Structures are given as C-alpha cells and as structure tokens.
Amino acid sequence: MLKDLICKELRLDMHQALWAFLLLAALLLIPQWLYYIAFIYLFILVMVVAQTDKANNNLIFATLLPVRKKDIVTARTWTIVGWELAYIFIAAICAVVRLRLYPENNTASMNTNFAFFGTAFLMYAIFNAIYVPGSYKKPYRMLWPLLGGALISVAVAAILNTLPLVIPAVSTLFNDAGLGHLPYQLAALAVGIAAFACATIWANKKAAANFEMVDL
Amino acid sequence: MALLEVRHLTKRYQSFVLDDVSFSLEPGYIMGFIGRNGAGKTTTLKSIMNLVRPDSGTVSVLGREFRADELALKQDIGFMLGGFAYYPRTRVSRLTDTYRRFYDRWEEKAYRVYLAQFDLDDTKTVEQLSSGMKVKYALALALSHGARLLMLDEPTSGLDPVSRDEVLDLFRAIIEDGTRSILFSTQITSDLDKCADFVTYIAKGRLVASDEKDDFLGAYRIVKGTKSEFTDDIRTALVGYKQTDLGFTGLMRVDTIPAGTSLAVEPADIEDIMIYHERVDRPMLER
C-alpha cells in the first residue's frame, strides 16, 4: 500500500521535470561559498509539489483510495526524505569532486567535510519537524509551515556554519578541509543523522495524528 | 442486507449542523439525494466516506461497520465528489495506471470495454474531458474495480440535457443486475423523475424524508384556494405556501387535507415538495 502511494507521489504529484531540482546540489562545486545555502533549494521543490497538490485536489483523491490516512502522510514524508537523502548524496559527491579540484580552505563558511554534512542533516531535521506536521493541520496548509521550517533551519545552519570562523577551537576540531580530526567530524555527522532520523519519525507521527483530525 | 445503512449521522460545525440523518439503500436501486444548496448533502456524503469526521452516528456498507473495516470496504465503493476534479492536467491513462494499483479486483479487460463503450479517449488529459465524459470516466473506474456502491455528488450538474439523459440511462444499466446501487445527490429534480427508485430529502441539515419515490410523491398534494379559504387551520396544515392577490397555493401532507374540502387538490412533483418545504412566505422585493 505504501509502495503504491509512493508510486502515486512520484507519478502524479511530482512533475518529472522537478527531478532537475536535485541537480542544484552541484552548487557544492563552487570553490568558495556559504555551502549550506545550496540545501535551501530543496525547500522550493517541496513548495512546488505542495502547491500542485492543491490544484490536483490530491488530498481528497488520496483519502478516497483504499488506504489509511496515516499512510498518505507517511508516503509524503518518505518522498520528502527521499529527496533530501538524494540531495545530500549528490552534494556529497560534488563535495569530494570539489575537494580534488580546489583543496584549499573555504574562507566564506564551513568546509564541505563530514561535520558540514552533519549540519545539513540537522537542517533537514528541523525543516521536517516543522513543515511535515504543520502542513497536515489544515487541508492544503503550506505557506507558514514551509516558511517556518525553511527560515529556522537556515538560521540554525547559518549559526553552525559560522561558528568555526569565530571560535578557533571549533574550527580546529570540526572544520578541517580534509579528514583531519576525523572522529570529531564523524561525531558531528552522527549527531546530524540521529537528529534527522528522530525528527522525521516524530514529524511523521505528529502529521498523521494531525491529518486524522482534519475534515476535508 | 442493505448495501448502505446510515444511522443517526451527526456533524456539528459552528454555523451548520447535520442532525441525526438516517437512511438505507438496498442492492439494485438508485437513490436520489436532494436538498437545496447548503442543506448538507455533500457533508453527508463526505461523512459517510470519513472525509469528514462525524460527531456521532454509524455507517455500514455491506453490513459491516465502515470505520472498522474502511480499507476493505473502500474496495467496494466508487465515489465522485462534485465532478471528477482531480489531476486536471494528467493524462487519463497515467491516472488510471496509478489508480488501479490500489484495487485488488481491478479488471483491466473490463476497463478497456468501458472506455470503448463510453467513447473515452485515455490519451486526453482529465481537463480535456467534457463534464459528461468525466462522469463516465469516474463510473468506468468504479465499475472496473468491482464497486457495488456508487456514491456521486451532483454528477449531472453542468451537463447538457443529452449527456444528462445518457448518464441517467447508464445509472439504470449499472444497477440492472441487482448487485449494485447508486446514491447520487442532485438539484435537478427531473433526474429523479427519470431514474430514482428512492428519494432522500434533506433540509437545513435534517432529514425530511427517505422513501420510495412513489410513496414520497404520494405523501403530498398541492392545494389551491381563494383568499377566504385561507383560514388559520389551513395555514397551519400547509407545509409551505405562496399567497397571491387571488388566493393561495401550497403544499399539504395527504393525511392533513380536510375531508370533503372545497380546495383544489393536485398531485405534487418533487420540485413542488422541495420548494414548499423550503419556502418562507415573504415579499420578494421590499419597497
């Protein structure tokens, strides 16, 4: 059932051209930049799909199918998670390529090392925790959860990415351009992944409970 | 066993209450669901399907409680809400290909037969289908997954007379084998004259009647009389009335018509019954 719903998400709810959004992860190839900004573009994909949901009357169509309401929510959550992981995966490949091409330190913000990807996971964790439950409180409610999720996650990412520039100890431990202080980098990545997993599971449960209470 | 049984369905909104609605539909029949705009027809249909959470009441489909067995019972239901307004820019073939995956008893062969029978071009997008074709497409989907209960919210609204007649003929053909039933809401009372076996009438969120069409019609009469005949007793007995300079015309239940009355008594049609039930006698234009 969940498989069929995800298939519906990808075949009906997401225009095929929107896959191109994931290629924006290649912004990590820029030699010097505030790299966390590259992860914001995925929110536009979420917004576009949410907007077409309304035009397609998706919620009523889906609820009339022989599926549980909570599965409709889970299918959307998994779809967003799929986009996020695909985006991070492409970004990671681009980060490796960039490191080969320009091995020097990023002076604008954090280097694209393991710790940086920990902050990317944390950014998506915050976005999911705010956007996913918020978007199921009322039918086709999108703007405030999206804005809230995007702004808060970007603000947190901006703070975390700026810390190494202002606190030398943080820079030493977490901002090596390569694999220096790897255990610290991996620990930051693990924290990001754990936060992403926990926040997303919680967001999905909360969104399903919200959607149960919604009258369409 | 009733295909659909609705008992004491109640839903409270701030400005509207769907109040204690009950009716049932046996296999092999068409029930017309009537009421003016805002009477609660769509809310009732949505509450049956759990799109809206009722505050109280039960819905049984095929003898099983709907909420307890929703997943399985939805396999037996085809539901269309206010025209087929989903995925307007998606090709019919693509939409069907996604839709069919959810139904265990989907019959592709039957679907192809319905497409041909209804002259449906599945390479078109949904918005390229005419209103009549959208209804036919919804029926093709429902019939192809073996739906036994079809619930349609205003399927004939916006159709030209020829398409409407075709759709109503199709309704009769669908229930012919006695295993399926159709519940459809409409404001076009002539639809009911043509094809309904039962009529359920709702006004201001409350059920007025749910009867066989002939019993429903037989329960009322139009009465006409002069000004002098418009006594307080008559006024009280009338369900609704219109006053003119010469006298009055109104609707009365058969059992309240005085024996040996001098009033002109005529059969009422569904439209008369609706109009006089809803009518508040007041000047149309204040001067």
| Residue A90: predicted pLDDT | 98
pLDDT digits (tens, 9 = 90+) for B1-33: 899 999 999 999 999 999 999 999 999 999 999
Q: Quote the DSSP letter at residue B91.
A: B
Q: Name every chain A residue with its beta carbon within 8 A of the beta carbon of B46.
A: 215-216
**Residue B182 is inside which H or E element, if any?**
strand B181-186
Non-local CB neighbours of A28 within 8 Å, separated by 6+ positions: A35, A38, A91, A94, A95, A98, A112
* B281 confidence band (pLDDT: 50, 70, 90): low
Q: What is the SS3 string spanning chain A?
A: CHHHHHHHHHHHHCCHHHHHHHHHHHHHHCCCCCHHHHHHHHHHHHHHHHHHHHHHCHHHHHHHCCCCHHHHHHHHHHHHHHHHHHHHHHHHHHHHHHHHHCCCCCCCCCCCCHHHHHHHHHHHHHHHHHHHHHCCCCCCCCHHHHHHHHHHHHHHHHHHHHHHHHCHHHHHHHCCCCCCCHHHHHHHHHHHHHHHHHHHHHHHHHHHHHHHCCCC
Closest partner residue to A215 (CB to CB) among B52, B75, B103 is B52
Do both B227 and B208 map to the same domain? Answer: no
| Residue B282: predicted pLDDT | 55
In a domain, B201, yes or no: yes
Do both B199 and B273 map to the same domain? Answer: no
How far apart (Å, rounded) are the C-alpha atoms in residues B94 and B199? 37
Domains: count for chain B: 2
A positions 34-93 inside 8 Å of B (CB): 55-58, 60-61, 63-68
Q: Name every chain A residue with its beta carbon within 8 A of the beta carbon of B51.
A: 60, 63-64, 215-216
Do both B11 and B120 map to the same domain? Answer: yes
pLDDT at residue B285 greater than cutoff 60: no
Q: Which residues of A141-152 are buried (b: 16+ CB within 10 A; e: fewer)?
A: bbeebbeebbee
Q: How far apart are the first and last CA of chain A?
A: 21
Do both B25 and B89 map to the same domain? Answer: yes
Q: Quote the DSSP letter at residue B230.
A: -
Q: Name every chain A residue with its beta carbon within 8 A of the beta carbon of B94.
A: 11-12
| Residue B287: predicted pLDDT | 46
Closest residue of chain B to A139, computed from CA coordinates: B51
How far apart (Å, rounded) are the C-alpha atoms in residues B259 and A181? 103
Residue ending a domain, among B167, B195, B216, is: B216
Work out the average pLDDT over A3-28.
Answer: 94
Do A196 and A156 contact (CB within 8 A), yes or no?
A: no
Do both B231 and B211 map to the same domain? Answer: no
To probe the interface with A, which of B87, B92, B103 has the most A CB atoms within 10 Å?
B87
How far apart (Å, rounded) are the C-alpha atoms in residues A53 and A70? 17
Do B18 and B43 contact (CB within 8 A), yes or no?
A: yes
Q: Is A58 exposed, middle or buried (CB count within 10 Å of its CB: 0-12, 13-18, 19+)?
A: buried
Do both B112 and B178 map to the same domain? Answer: yes
Q: Name every chain B residue with its beta carbon within 8 A of the beta carbon of A11.
A: 94, 97-98
pLDDT at residue A54 greater than cutoff 60: yes
Closest residue of chain B to A62, computed from CA coordinates: B99
Q: What is chain B's mean pLDDT, rounded? A: 92
pLDDT digits (tens, 9 = 90+) for B198-208: 999 999 999 99
Tell me which residue of A65, A93, A83 sits closest to A2, measured CA to CA: A65
Name residue B17's beta-bridge partners: B12
Do B41 and B33 contact (CB within 8 A), yes or no?
A: yes
Q: Name every chain B residue with its beta carbon within 8 A of the beta carbon of A56.
A: 86-88, 90
In a domain, B56, yes or no: yes
| Residue B163: predicted pLDDT | 87
pLDDT at residue B104 greater than cutoff 70: yes
Non-local CB neighbours of A187 within 8 Å, separated by 6+ positions: none
In a domain, B284, yes or no: no
Residue A36's region, left for phi above 0, alpha for psi from -120 to 50, else beta, is alpha
Q: Give the CATH number, domain containing residue B83.
A: 3.40.50.300
pLDDT digits (tens, 9 = 90+) for A77-130: 999 999 999 999 999 999 999 999 998 889 899 999 999 999 999 999 999 999
Which of A209-213, B187-191, B228-232 is most confident?
Answer: A209-213
Do both B259 and B230 map to the same domain? Answer: yes
Q: Quote the DSSP letter at residue B75.
A: T
pLDDT digits (tens, 9 = 90+) for B114-149: 999 999 999 999 999 999 999 999 999 999 999 999
Domain that holds residue A160: 2-212
Closest partner residue to A12 (CB to CB) among B52, B71, B98 is B98
CA dihedral A46, A51, A56, A61 (to 10 degrees): 60
pLDDT at residue A39 greater than cutoff 70: yes
Classify the complex by whether its ipTM is higher than 0.85, answering yes or no. yes
Do both B65 and B126 map to the same domain? Answer: yes
Domain that holds residue B234: 220-278
Do both B82 and B127 map to the same domain? Answer: yes
Domains: count for chain A: 1
Residue ending a domain, among B201, B216, B231, is: B216
Query: Given an 8 Å threshold on Cβ–Cβ distance, is A65 in contact with B86?
Result: no
How far apart (Å, rounded) are the C-alpha atoms in residues B1 and B159? 34
Tell me which residue of A130, A29, A9 sits closest to A76, measured CA to CA: A9
Closest partner residue to A216 (CB to CB) among B51, B71, B79 is B51
Do both B233 and B208 map to the same domain? Answer: no
Specify the higher pLDDT residue, A70 or B85.
Answer: A70
